[in-house]
Structure 1
């Protein structure tokens, strides 16, 4: 086999690998920013690559599961894109932080922007409260191009089976890492308990400071009273000394006059 034939075979093999690997990297997907813990909240990015060489993506629709509805879905603004959030009534209300939720976000749609050939765009979302009774959330997506082509990323991947041709984005959920994974409600209760402990500690500290201050003030009063008493005694002795001195001088003068007479 000559060098030219080896090069040709290598090129064909490389092209085949690229063709087979290309679609795997071109799927619309969802990636968490940090942990996506069960019962908690998470920030995720919906990543949308453009698969066409002659068309641009101009619209994206992401639908959320109805069997595990989310009480909160908040999109982060993306420059050049307009976002629309749609809600639907729930068959069974949710209880979140002690409140009953009767509707949840069912779909988020981005329009007005453009993802050109060879480019991708990320669409950030804040999601919560994540369910505790499942290991993943399937977010079905529909990608529309400016040539009117529509690609539906809605096929749910099955564990142990081959990946479908148009797999839906899947958000994997992890086990909670702490006791306060149930969200702001549990955290708020813990904060309230901590606040009560701090209040009791502050009260004890204030009482101790007050008692210490009272002792200091009492000792200060004693010292001040003793100083005043000493000052009064010194003044009295001084006056007596002056009187005695004057009397002595007068006695001396009278004695001198008697001797002179």
Structure 2
């Protein structure tokens, strides 16, 4: 009986240790796409930030955009209770997107608690729209800093290496899938073609609006002329009547 009890206790301790170690291994800042993140396209991703501490809350999150693969568009989605700030940096080599030169790109996104916080035992997701994703890379590494209300800062900046054990503070890694043929995941030619089609449609709408406005103006002018002609006819009739009466 005592042997069975000792085995039960040992099993319980082992199970608790596994759960504790698993929690520690997976309780880090990560990034996952909503759908897929295709090379050469655009994607919305979620930066998932769990709270690792039992006696402090997360009040600030900073995510650095990789400088070796600058992105022309980085737009954070509003998160209730958090203020998002986008920092831009001048590019050494301008990007060409839809025929336009981009001379600066987002280098960092910072979320600061503004009434909200990530309490112990909780996590928060921070959605961001990214594009255009590089075509010459299989992944993007976003280094992150997590600040607690006790002033502690955890630096999630270690890049995982293939075949090696996971580092203690791994940086969030976004895996990129193969380019697709649609306007969100296609290459430069696809995006430029869609941009040109959009511009053509916009120009056609403007031309239609201009034609309608011109037609409306012409109708108003003719109406005014008709009123003036009518008024002149009435006046002429009155004068003619007076002359006959005289």
Shorter chain as denominator, the TM-score bin is 0.7 to 0.9
Helix, strand or coil at the partner of 1:105: strand
Which segment is superposed worse, 24-33 or 173-182? 173-182
TM alignment of 1:36-185, pairs within 5 A: 36-112=37-113, 113-178=116-181, 180=183, 181-182=186-187, 184-185=191-192
| 1:188 corresponds to | 195
Measure, in 1, the Cα distance between the counterparts of 2:64 and 2:26. 21
CA deviation profile, 1:85-124 (whole Å, cap 9, x unmatched): 0000111111111111110000010012300000000000
Helix, strand or coil at the partner of 2:21: helix
Measure, in 2, the Cα distance between the counterparts of 1:93 and 1:25. 38
Measure, in 1, the Cα distance between the counterparts of 2:160 and 2:191. 32
- The change in CA–CA distance for 1:192 and 1:108 in structure 2 (over 3 A counts) is closer
Helix, strand or coil at the partner of 2:117: strand
CA deviation profile, 1:11-62 (whole Å, cap 9, x unmatched): 1211221122112220100010011000000000000000011110000000
Q: CA deviation at 1:192?
A: 8.1
Measure, in 2, the Cα distance between the counterparts of 1:83 and 1:107. 10
CA RMSD, aligned part only? 1.7
Which 5+ residue runs of structure 1 have no aligned equivalent?
196-261
Measure, in 2, the Cα distance between the counterparts of 1:117 and 1:156. 26
TM alignment of 1:234-245, pairs within 5 A: none
Measure, in 2, the Cα distance between the counterparts of 1:186 and 1:162. 44
Q: CA deviation at 1:186?
A: 2.8
Structure with the larger helix share? 1
**Structure 1 length as normaliser, TM-score?**
0.71
| 2:17 corresponds to | 16
CA deviation profile, 1:108-155 (whole Å, cap 9, x unmatched): 100123000000000000000000000000000000001111100000
**Structure 2 length as normaliser, TM-score?**
0.75
Q: CA deviation at 1:191?
A: 6.6
Which 5+ residue runs of structure 2 have no aligned equivalent?
202-246
Measure, in 2, the Cα distance between the counterparts of 1:136 and 1:116. 31
Q: CA deviation at 1:189?
A: 4.3
Helix, strand or coil at the partner of 1:114: coil
- The change in CA–CA distance for 1:35 and 1:186 in structure 2 (over 3 A counts) is farther
